[in-house]
Structure 1
């Protein structure tokens, strides 16, 4: 009775309290029947790709930033007028462009019509100022990839609110389709503090593609890209692409557990076997757009004499360098026996035969160059021959190969030291000045081999308006005897193959470069995804990410 009385009293109090409000009291719900509150939303469909590194910067136009992650991010986040097709030939990107065509022969003029709905992620239109900004920077900045085509441009004008761009050239340029790839957001960069080296150094200030950056955490080694709501074309199939740094053994483990769906790594023979051992994984070779080379710089005081350069080449065991750099991985099948065209490109013709090592010739050439053997070292005017070999900091296989070059030269009595400055300092300063004798660096293919020839081996010249001296090539090389052929190939007066037949033997005689091999990555893919493949030639694996699908979701 006491318990019943307590219940009735509580009921009276509750009723009285309820009478003081406009709403009835909540119903009493047994604990076992209480609703479950959840915070999980729709399941995210994503593909996780393991990579060697995600380190910046991310400017695809800078030698210092060349890497698979730069290629991957620029292909998804930056707009390009043309993109490589399945055969490597440039195809107009109609997601960005209405048209692009030659509209006048004299002066040579190309007119670009940009889609009116194409815009950056901050809603600014993609327009003529983006073309203008890239042109201005590419023709005057040191350490940029293939600037020769941009240096031919005389003027850029615009109409229809900047959506129609007219580019006039001083000379014909058949390779014009290679220009204006990976446009940059000029409205954010043109007045930004700092220099060209800061452009895309840590992130993307604005993007214009099917994906946008959700997070870019370099210390953690992870980049998360998500479907862009501002993209004006068909949205991506996936919600998200995650690019995650890992060791090779961790990549294999993640694939075996299904945590990763793909892996892209610079592999040796052991890594090839490691991925092949993972159940269900398909592996393919993916050539990068870079060829490893040893540059002997005529700009250097000690290597100004061609006999000295020839002696250095004769002191190098090229076959051993290639074997050391490739480690029997996928790159071993892409030996670079040409000074200009990469092995994976259409038009590649081997012109270098045999090994370079010839100790007797090296001694004779050094003697003819004025050096004498004093004990175990070579000297001239009482000073030892000591060379400075540079490679970009922490970049492989370049640093390891620089040390191999040092060891080979030491065997011939030639002293040297290896320095590894950060990539930006190396390409923008040290290779512009004269304090590096030898550089183990990439030669990058930006899409047009004639422009690559002119950018790598052409003489420096004035900018089109005569205001600024165009930066020299990385070797500081200029040979007026071949310049006419270089210009003729660039302007389309002769076929590139005809020009190279005359130029490459002269490059060999000038001993300015020793090409080694094209860097080739290994792609491993699980059957739980479709569309993850090698991509168009030199475009990178992630260039096709908008079409990727998860089959297990």
Structure 2
């Protein structure tokens, strides 16, 4: 203790001496601020954030009005399918869901589907034959559905073994049967749900039967959160959560750069492509063609355009290149010009069939044809019996790029003296109510220049020209029949009739060829060699381009690619992995 006291005394003396030997004040204390650190959320390797243009509903993948990237993504992640598209584009049986699916009888043509006993919806209900029957019943008779032709050949769906076996009978052989019963829906929930077929899937999925389930859909935030489906009987996914997040394209690029989004799937014009390219090696860019072709339909079922001469005049007024330029924005879709009426540019076997000169505006031809159809031009407008020619353009106003194209088409027609009004309606209304409201006016292709139902009726409000998506992901022969086949009775003898095709088109002379292609009696190529030239000659439809997305993949993600043809990247989501930036 005495030693410690001596040490303290010595220290005090030294300090006093040092203080006395200087006439300067002690140096000021220097405060060194801590390094600024921006708080960040710890990256979660089990969660993946995907940026998208839109996550807007509805989400029924079987409706033309819902042919969007987000709806196809949810179908792949949440809903079960009997077959999936393989890497080579051929259908492959989903052995997680199915024991087997095979043709078991030639007459009546029967396909037997055997479902695995453990396959179940997220609420515990089994995936069963009633789900097959529910999809069939709606696909054959509801308006605005995708690829209904194959379903309309079905005469019955019967259940065996407690619903685990479904025997599906057809009125005729159907080689494309493997394209049926994709994206099965939970019949036990939807058959009695308010809104039923369309309404119950307008904002959410009521039950999951795939590797992921819906945790939440937040339209205000523009966000959908999916989580690993703990009731899924197949192999567990690598990721626990996938977040689909909506943003503008500039914000999507910024989020990729910052690492807030690890993946993005978006439409892209030339400016967006430049922004993505500037990210350099931080992302890998892949063009993903969608199973959708944007097309114009000159509807034979409308009072005015039932006149083939008038349809030809409208064709001659359209600047197809300008519409394609606007719709694609100079992005990847610009290289996917659709020059066939049935197959898409990215499909195997695609063969352009467009005649020379189609889509190049020629006002001299317009003038000649309208004069031939009984119109006269006064003060820059075409009239008949004193009534101005005015066409109604229908396009889904809630989906890009259809409404934008409608505005440009209106301007092109106006430049030719043809008045046009745009019908402001949603896709659900357009395909569900407006287009089915008019039926084919003639059992055969019109040949007269002034049909009886076109006498001066230029104020009729039915849609004359529709700008719509044509779904091309299924059986091509089914696409032909659904797009240009005649309306007819169902094969099981019921009084319910399928809705007419969106073009309201029917040519009884072409119908046997369409049906022969559907049932395999002739090849699709032989059928198209007959049907497509006749359709072009009748000026029924003008395809523009195939929609596409750009897939931007960050360096943290492995296992991501463009996916099978006309399916997209989400088919591989169960095996995606994420590493964390360090």
TM-score normalised over the length of structure 1: 0.91
Query: 2:506 & 2:167 partners in 1: Cα distance?
Result: 32
Query: 2:326 & 2:105 partners in 1: Cα distance?
Result: 51
Q: 2:496 aligns with which of 458, 468, 472?
A: 468
Q: Which residue of 2 aligns with 1:337?
A: 339
Q: 1:375 aligns with which of 372, 379, 385?
A: 379
Matched, 1:447 2:474: yes
Q: Which residue of 2 aligns with 1:115?
A: 116
Q: Which residue of 2 aligns with 1:409?
A: 413
Check the 8 A contact 1:371/1:378 in 2, yes or no: yes
> 1:133-282 residue pairs with structure 2 within 5 A?
133-279=134-280, 280-282=282-284
Matched, 1:548 2:552: no
Check the 8 A contact 2:114/2:166 in 1, yes or no: yes
Query: 1:352 & 1:302 partners in 2: Cα distance?
Result: 24
Query: What SS is found at the alignment partner of 1:148?
Result: coil
Matched, 1:489 2:522: no
Query: 1:528 & 1:469 partners in 2: Cα distance?
Result: 52
Q: 1:193: Cα distance to partner?
A: 2.7
Check the 8 A contact 2:193/2:200 in 1, yes or no: no
Which piece of structure 1 moves more, 515-524 or 362-371? 362-371
Check the 8 A contact 1:81/1:93 in 2, yes or no: yes
Which piece of structure 1 moves more, 531-540 or 79-88? 531-540
Check the 8 A contact 1:44/1:240 in 2, yes or no: no
Query: 2:52 & 2:564 partners in 1: Cα distance?
Result: 19
Q: Which residue of 2 aligns with 1:303?
A: 305
Check the 8 A contact 1:145/1:446 in 2, yes or no: no
Query: 1:120 & 1:429 partners in 2: Cα distance?
Result: 32
Residue deviations 1:484-506 (CA, integer Å, cap 9, x gap): 11000000000001100110000
Query: 2:228 & 2:120 partners in 1: Cα distance?
Result: 15
Query: 2:473 & 2:158 partners in 1: Cα distance?
Result: 25
Q: Which residue of 2 aligns with 1:459?
A: 486
Q: Which residue of 2 aligns with 1:287?
A: 289
Larger radius of gyration: 2
Matched, 1:322 2:324: yes
Q: 1:195: Cα distance to partner?
A: 4.0
Residue deviations 1:72-106 (CA, integer Å, cap 9, x gap): 00111001000111111111111101110111111
Query: 1:157 & 1:41 partners in 2: Cα distance?
Result: 53
Q: 1:364: Cα distance to partner?
A: 1.3
Check the 8 A contact 1:323/1:332 in 2, yes or no: yes
Q: Which residue of 1 aligns with 2:442?
A: none
Q: 2:437 aligns with which of 404, 412, 433?
A: 433
Query: 2:473 & 2:494 partners in 1: Cα distance?
Result: 26
Q: Which residue of 1 aligns with 2:539?
A: 511
Query: 2:93 & 2:427 partners in 1: Cα distance?
Result: 32
Q: 1:215: Cα distance to partner?
A: 1.1
Q: Which residue of 2 aligns with 1:20?
A: none
Residue deviations 1:2-36 (CA, integer Å, cap 9, x gap): xxxxxxxxxxxxxxxxxxxxxxxxxxxxxxxxxxx
Query: What SS is found at the alignment partner of 1:481?
Result: coil
Q: How much is the aligned-residue C-alpha RMSD, in angstroms? A: 1.4
Matched, 1:539 2:567: yes
Query: What SS is found at the alignment partner of 2:162?
Result: coil
Could you say if the C-alpha distance between residues 237 and 195 of structure 1 is closer, same or farther in structure 2, counting changes exceeding 3 Å?
A: closer
Check the 8 A contact 1:455/1:473 in 2, yes or no: yes
Query: What SS is found at the alignment partner of 1:188?
Result: helix
Query: 2:482 & 2:322 partners in 1: Cα distance?
Result: 29
Q: Which residue of 2 aligns with 1:30?
A: none
Check the 8 A contact 2:238/2:574 in 1, yes or no: yes
Which structure 1 residue ranges, 5 or more long, are not aligned?
1-39
Which structure 2 residue ranges, 5 or more long, are not aligned?
1-40, 439-461
Query: 1:416 & 1:526 partners in 2: Cα distance?
Result: 46
Matched, 1:384 2:388: yes
TM-score normalised over the length of structure 2: 0.87
Which piece of structure 1 moves more, 40-49 or 137-146? 40-49
Query: 1:83 & 1:363 partners in 2: Cα distance?
Result: 51
Residue deviations 1:158-202 (CA, integer Å, cap 9, x gap): 111111110000011000001000000000111223342213111
Query: What SS is found at the alignment partner of 2:510?
Result: helix
Query: 1:41 & 1:518 partners in 2: Cα distance?
Result: 40
Query: 2:247 & 2:107 partners in 1: Cα distance?
Result: 54
Query: 2:199 & 2:502 partners in 1: Cα distance?
Result: 21
